Amino acid sequence: MFPGQGSQAPGMGRELAGHFASAREVFEQADAALGFSLSKICFEGPSEGLQLTANTQPAILAVSVAAARVLEENGVRPDYVAGHSLGEYSALVIAGTLELGDALRLVRKRGQYMQEVVPVGQGAMAAILDMELDAVQEICREAAQGEVVSPANLNSPRQIVIAGNQSAVDRAIELAKARGAKRALKLNVSAPFHCALMQPAADLLAADLDQAAMRDPQVPVVRNADATIAFSASEVREGLKRQVVAPVRWTDSMRALRARGVELFVEAGPGKVLSGLLRQIDPAARAFQAGNLASVNDSLAALKSA
């Protein structure tokens, strides 16, 4: 499983590139594909450059693919792949559907479109903790008042993220607090992802996706938009188009994999957000991280004895 935006941190990928030729090759290919040193932004920062959405998305993808390549060369190959939002593109590279260079160029455009269609300060996202989806949906309906606010990331039974116009999100936060949410807090993001305000970005990206070369996945891919398994390039392409405005159905995605008998999950890429969400979704599932040298080595040792 591959993380999305928010898992980035200066220095990510540096250890992997320093110790594994397969990871180093991924960053070399990324720099060549984009025409600038993405590797330097990953390895050195500054954090301001890494936080720009057009940089963040290819940077996380590159680190995630590098980590997965290291796992692969050590005999760890997935039966399924899934990625959270942006992470779905990382999953598609590992599934053989997208070439690395094409995926990097797509997510850089995706980041640019998402940032440009809603000016900074006009949109917002917020996490609502320990509140049922039905209650969150009702709060969003009441808070909208002619604007946009809706569930954007269905992350776990305990965490739902909402997105929309800033004032509508503010109203929803206050309603959530008044109706018993454990916490309701605004997130430090640059745009309101996965809501109707992203439709212009979805339209722009759809044209790029239609032109992108895609092959049928060699490994089944879980689609964000509906938590179903994609086996063909056409299913993948259609899912990526819907993904920009549709909520990320992460809870359902993980439950779909568990229903298919998946017991071991490896989070390939920076951070451990998805491993934490998986514990909330299904504590019986086993999650490992592979984002830096120590976590890769620990995961490889654990997986060999699993």
Residues in contact with 58: Cβ distance below 8 Å, sequence separation at least 6, in sequence order: 30, 34, 38, 104, 107, 108, 111
253 flagged as catalytic: no
Residues in contact with 5: Cβ distance below 8 Å, sequence separation at least 6, in sequence order: 53, 56, 57, 60, 85, 86, 189, 193
85 flagged as catalytic: yes
* Catalytic position from the list 85, 190, 295, 299: 85
* Catalytic position from the list 84, 156, 194, 275: 194
CA dihedral 162, 164, 170, 171 (to 10 degrees): -90
How far apart (Å, rounded) are the C-alpha atoms in residues 194 and 84? 12
Nearest to 265, CA basis, from 143, 53, 91, 98: 91
**Residue with the two structure tokens 């450059």:** 49
CA dihedral 15, 38, 278, 245 (to 10 degrees): 180
DSSP class of residue 164 equals E
10 Å CB burial of residue 79 (0-12, 13-18, 19+) is exposed
Dig out the tokens for 31 from the structure: 């720099």
Instruction: Please list the active-site residues.
Output: 85, 194
